[in-house]
A and B are shown apart, each in its own frame.
Chain A
Amino acid sequence: MRLLSCFTAITILLAGVSSAIATPLSFFLEEQHLGSVTEKNWPGKYLLIGIGYTSCPDICPTTVMDLSSAVAGLGAKADKIVPIFISVDPNRDSVKNIDLYVKYFSPNMVGLVGNITQTTDVVKTLSATYGYSLEGKPVYPPLPSQYEVYHSAYIYLYGPDRQLIDVFGYGLGGDKISQKIATYLKIESL
Chain B
Amino acid sequence: MNNKSMINKPSYLVILLTALSAYFASVSVLASCQLPQGIDRFTPQQQDNTLPAAPVNIINYWATWCGPCIKELPTLNNLAKQGIAVTTIHVGNKPKQIQTMFNRLVITLLPQTYIADFSPVRQYGFNGLPATLIAVQGQIKYKVAGYIETPEAELAKWLTCIAK
Q: Known: A2-B149, A59-B147. Contact between A171 and B127, CB under 8 A?
A: yes
Q: Contact at A58–B65, with CB atoms within 8 Å?
A: no
Chain B interface residues (CB < 8 Å from chain A) = 37-38, 63-69, 91-92, 94, 97, 117-119, 122, 127-130, 145-147, 149
With A and B bound together, what is the CA distance between A104 and B130 in angstroms? 17
Of A15-23, A38-46, A61-69, A125-133, the one contacting chain B is A61-69
Q: Contact at B68–A57, with CB atoms within 8 Å?
A: yes
What chain A residues lie within 8 Å of B63 (beta carbons)? Answer: 60, 65
Contact mask A133-177 → B, CB, 8 Å, 1/0?
Answer: 000000000000000000000000000000000000011011100
Q: Known: A104-B65, A175-B119. Contact between A62 and B129, CB under 8 A?
A: yes
Q: Contact at A59–B117, with CB atoms within 8 Å?
A: no
Write the nearest CB–CB distance from B47 to chain A, whole angstroms. Answer: 22
Residue A101 interfacial (CB < 8 Å): yes
Contacts between chains A and B (CB distance < 8 A), count: 69
Write the nearest CB–CB distance from B154 to chain A, whole angstroms. Answer: 15
Residue A1 interfacial (CB < 8 Å): yes
Write the nearest CB–CB distance from B120 to chain A, whole angstroms. Answer: 11
Q: Known: A60-B68, A104-B65. Contact between A173 and B119, CB under 8 A?
A: yes
What chain B residues lie within 8 Å of A101 (beta carbons)? Answer: 65
Which 4 interchain pairs have the tightest Cβ spacing?
A59-B146, A58-B147, A60-B66, A59-B128
Q: Which residue of B lies closest to A72 (CB)?
A: B117
Contact mask A59-91 → B, CB, 8 Å, 1/0?
Answer: 111100110010000000000000000000000
Q: Contact at A2–B118, with CB atoms within 8 Å?
A: no
Write the nearest CB–CB distance from A4 to chain B, whole angstroms. Answer: 12
Write the nearest CB–CB distance from B54 to chain A, whole angstroms. Answer: 26
Write the nearest CB–CB distance from A162 to chain B, whole angstroms. Answer: 29
What chain B residues lie within 8 Å of A11 (beta carbons)? Answer: 127
Q: Contact at B145–A59, with CB atoms within 8 Å?
A: yes
Q: Known: A1-B37, A175-B119. Contact between A58 and B68, CB under 8 A?
A: yes
Write the nearest CB–CB distance from B137 to chain A, whole angstroms. Answer: 28
With A and B bound together, what is the CA distance between A189 and B37 in angstroms? 54
What chain B residues lie within 8 Å of A59 (beta carbons)? Answer: 68, 128-130, 145-147
What chain A residues lie within 8 Å of B122 (beta carbons)? Answer: 171, 173
